[in-house]
Structure 1
């Protein structure tokens, strides 16, 4: 299992430093986040930054770690601009970009304050699928057009493909063992990995636990078959300050089948950039 760290707060300079220190202290990935203007108490007091700008800067000061954002809200991105920005970071990093993607949060004013943006969940899900389809077509190197319910474009061509031919995509999917929501799960199965969530009122409430990860991984194997290729299952959690306890937490998740642990701290009232840097310097646990 690999270990990534989410830079939830900080100036651009602090975020880039955090990425560099992630690499220096043994982490496998650095992730920022994608929001514009959040209408939520606490979160609205923190500045937001362009994730691709931060990741481009992080790519320039690192050599090894995976780079991404938790998560890219694709329904509010213009697909042709998204494709170009992702391709730029992919090449700048030597092919280290991954794209965790989702429908976006309805409290972002980039949805609610902009006429014509999809706001209903069904419409955002449809837009997510169409942007992903557009993005994948852009990697072909061929001239293409697209006609959909929400995205329609004439001819486009990106002559340079991603470094490895495609950029890994990890859609968010909701897991419920009793009633698996097939639409979001089937979407994730079509791509390269999955960021599982459960139903909850806060980011922490929506995190899947180790038992849910185990159930989900068993379901994924049954759906994809035992001979399918590698597939990432991304767990979000918070490691204990005690190294032995942290190692035990990580082993439990790794044994459940997760391929990534993302260190995820979001409380806007207590988490500071300085605290995040101190946490990064502790490094990930040894399994």
Structure 2
């Protein structure tokens, strides 16, 4: 049985020097990898998220989540590559649509060389909030994501050799890729999302599959187990080794010393907002299946319709917790004491995961939790079979 690996969400915004100092400490504590999301802007409406989520009187505290400011993900991956020795590096989630596949392929190969092969990219079909406000067009996103992987593989397989390939989106004509493989290996790519086409891409062309918990699996471990089976079957049919694939999940958690403290924190607008959207990609339809009407309608969708570029009306923002039923909160955010979080995650891990990273939302509400987060997380990691974190590192 593969030993479960655990990842920590790194600092994504200013001040850069503090995030840089945290990286060797993350490695020394015993985390297997650090995860950097790729974003142009906040996951929340303008002004809802704090700019800095760490305690202001504890500048050395590890950053346990993100705020409203975002550095470029490739730049963060590069900084982590040269600041650590063995720590795995994960860019998750990132789309290969706003960057052309050729540029993505070059940047990913560069960081693969820079990191000594420690880097992973988990690619999805993107979110409209990253596209429309910036003059980008998000059309046929899954088609384009699949085609981007084909283009990148073509370039990686033909370093220094002119290569041509027909494509509806990115045709190649005597294209010469300027970097060799790293020790004979391509950059590690995992497909993110649900459905047969993404699962087929993961099994046939990628190095594994990724989702988010619990909402990405409709709060049902059986959904994870089915996707793992499907991806492995596609890999076997393509004469690839299914045991060489990784199955990763990012868990949306709100951890506190007690269940009651965590439950109280869930009733904050900054927590209610992701709960509003996070029960599957098509949140509106998912809510309806559970007998609830979504405040933004049946077609409400995190990747398709969520907008964050403007501040919410203050009265509406304050009303958010009342708009999200407790059952929806429970189905989208794993909250509670470390013991409770472990109990919620165990069935998902048993469904076939090889890797688990954490997005901790607690500092969005209570900034004093930053320095105590590692101790709580050590309880969760050990509860799931990992080694205790070295808290004095």
Give 2:302's aligned residue. none
Equivalent runs, 1:32-43 vs 2, <5 Å: 32-37=36-41, 40-41=44-45, 42=48
TM-score (norm 2): 0.60
- Give the number of equivalent residue pairs: 270
Give 2:94's aligned residue. 72
Equivalent runs, 1:112-191 vs 2, <5 Å: 112-115=132-135, 117-120=136-139, 122=140, 124-140=141-157, 141=159, 142-154=161-173, 155-174=175-194, 181-190=195-204, 191=206
Distance 1:101 1:236 in 2: 13
More displaced stretch, 27-36 vs 1-10 = 1-10
Distance 1:107 1:36 in 2: 8
Asked if 2 retains the 8 angstrom alpha-carbon contact of 1:94 and 1:163, the reply is no
Give 1:213's aligned residue. 224
After superposition, give the CA deviation of every residue in 1:149-192 in whole Å (9 maximum; x if it has no partner): 12134322224213451112111121xxxxxx322221222211
Asked if 1 retains the 8 angstrom alpha-carbon contact of 2:363 and 2:370, the reply is no
Q: 1:204 to 1:216 in 2, by over 3 A?
A: closer
Give 2:210's aligned residue. 195
Equivalent runs, 1:234-253 vs 2, <5 Å: 234-237=248-251, 238=253, 240=255, 242=337, 244-245=339-340, 247-249=342-344, 251-253=346-348
Unaligned runs of 5+ in 1: 175-180, 198-202
Distance 2:366 2:118 in 1: 27
Asked if 2 retains the 8 angstrom alpha-carbon contact of 1:38 and 1:107, the reply is no
Coordinate RMSD, CA, aligned: 3.0
Give 2:373's aligned residue. 279
TM-score (norm 1): 0.80
Distance 2:13 2:83 in 1: 17
DSSP-derived class of the 1:162 partner: coil
**From 21, 25, 35, the counterpart of 2:25:** 21
Q: Displacement of 1:102 after TM fit?
A: 0.7
Asked if 2 retains the 8 angstrom alpha-carbon contact of 1:40 and 1:107, the reply is no
Q: 1:205 to 1:14 in 2, by over 3 A?
A: farther
Higher helix share: 2
Asked if 1 retains the 8 angstrom alpha-carbon contact of 2:12 and 2:71, the reply is no
Q: Displacement of 1:73 after TM fit?
A: 1.4
Give 1:82's aligned residue. 104
Q: 1:253 to 1:58 in 2, by over 3 A?
A: same
Distance 1:73 1:264 in 2: 19
**From 238, 247, 270, the counterpart of 1:233:** 247
Asked if 1 retains the 8 angstrom alpha-carbon contact of 2:35 and 2:90, the reply is yes
**From 257, 269, 279, the counterpart of 2:352:** 257
Distance 1:265 1:106 in 2: 24
Q: Displacement of 1:22 after TM fit?
A: 2.0
Distance 1:78 1:118 in 2: 13
Q: Displacement of 1:257 after TM fit?
A: 1.1
DSSP-derived class of the 2:39 partner: coil
